Amino acid sequence: MLVDLNFEGKRVVVVGGGSEGYRKTVDFLEAGAKVLVVSQSFSSGMANLNREKKISIRKEKLENAESFIVGFYPKPDIVVAVTSNREFNSNLIKCAKSAGCMVYAPDNPSVSDFALPATARVGDVRIAVSTGGKSPAMASVLRKRIEKLVTAEDLLQIKLQEYLRDLLKRQVSDQKVRKELLYKVIQDFDIQKLLKENRFDEAKEKATAIVQKT
């Protein structure tokens, strides 16, 4: 089961400054989290995020997981273990869990409290792709395929549907009727053609006429 967790404003500590740490850091930033990255060294991408003041970094040699976690006050909401040392990652996860933190370790999904699936992003569309931790590489491949399937017409239809939903909420009290009208617009051939030709205002006018006939 895929669940979209709310990370807005959460304090996230990413332990590991390499390429994997960078990818996860970007994911959390896009979700609105406040990220501190702790590592002995940092990738160029991570350094750029720090220069842009999007993250905080702390240079530290990581040796003892327990003392590392105990040293935090207040405790982070989420600890992400992405060092190249699998044993350290495992110890870090155990200590963080004992301290009441949520945990995530890409190399050990069985002990993680949640997963970060590969996410296809096209405009306002977000589609999560997960292989249950069996093959992150294939999740990435499938994500790229899915991104190619979402067209400019689809993105305009989303914009149109947002407008229509707001309009219908003011005019139609019956939720079932609202749903039927929205699908009617989606399936209308003339509106599809107008959106494909990037004639949004004309499509909006026609769609408005359809829903106002009720």
Question: Which residue matches tokens 């699908």?
Answer: 183
Dihedral angle of Cα 16, 18, 19, 23, to the nearest 10 degrees: 30
What is the tens place of the pLDDT at every residue in 52-77?
Answer: 999 999 999 988 999 999 988 889 99
Do residues 107 and 50 both lie within one domain?
yes
The DSSP bridge partners found for residue 13 are: 36, 79
Do residues 138 and 165 both lie within one domain?
no
> Is 40 part of any domain?
yes
pLDDT at 118 > cutoff 90? no
Do residues 146 and 185 both lie within one domain?
no
> Is 90 part of any domain?
yes
DSSP strand pairing (102-104 vs 118-122): unpaired
CB count in 10 Å sphere of residue 138: 12
pLDDT at 210 > cutoff 60? yes
> Is 18 part of any domain?
yes
Q: Which of 99, 129, 150 is the last residue of a domain?
A: 150
Do residues 163 and 182 both lie within one domain?
yes
Do residues 75 and 104 both lie within one domain?
yes
- Dihedral class, residue 211 (left if φ above 0, else alpha if ψ from -120 to 50, else beta): alpha
DSSP type of residue 76: P
Do residues 161 and 206 both lie within one domain?
yes
Do residues 157 and 142 both lie within one domain?
no
Do residues 36 and 92 both lie within one domain?
yes
Question: Which amino acid, residue 60?
Answer: E
Domain count within the chain: 3
> Is 2 part of any domain?
no
Q: Which of 99, 116, 133 is the last residue of a domain?
A: 116
Alpha helix stretches (DSSP H) within the chain: 19-30, 44-51, 65-70, 86-98, 136-149, 152-171, 175-187, 189-196, 200-212
> Is 6 part of any domain?
no
Query: Residue 74: is the preceding peptide bond cis (ω within 30°)?
Result: yes
Do residues 135 and 188 both lie within one domain?
no
Do residues 29 and 62 both lie within one domain?
yes
pLDDT at 43 > cutoff 80? yes
> Is 83 part of any domain?
yes
Least confident of 17-21, 124-128, 159-163, 200-204: 124-128
CATH code of residue 33: 3.40.50.720
- Average pLDDT in the chain: 90
The band of 214, judged by pLDDT with boundaries at 50, 70 and 90, is low
> Is 167 part of any domain?
yes
Spatial separation of the C-alpha atoms in residues 61 and 41, rounded to whole Å: 9
Whole-prediction pTM: 0.67
Question: Which tokens in the block code for residue 205?
Answer: 């006018």
- In which domain, by residue range, is 63 found? 11-116
Do residues 51 and 27 both lie within one domain?
yes
DSSP three-state, residue 35: strand
The band of 16, judged by pLDDT with boundaries at 50, 70 and 90, is very high
Which long-range contacts does 115-124 make (Cβ < 8 Å, 24+ apart)? 116/24, 116/27, 117/2, 118/142, 118/143, 119/27, 119/143, 120/144, 120/146, 120/147, 120/150, 121/147, 122/147, 122/150, 122/154, 122/155, 123/150, 123/155, 123/158, 124/155, 124/158
The DSSP bridge partners found for residue 78 are: 12, 102
pLDDT at 6 > cutoff 90? no
Spatial separation of the C-alpha atoms in residues 57 and 34, rounded to whole Å: 11
What is the tens place of the pLDDT at every residue in 122-143?
Answer: 888 878 887 777 787 888 899 8
Do residues 200 and 134 both lie within one domain?
no
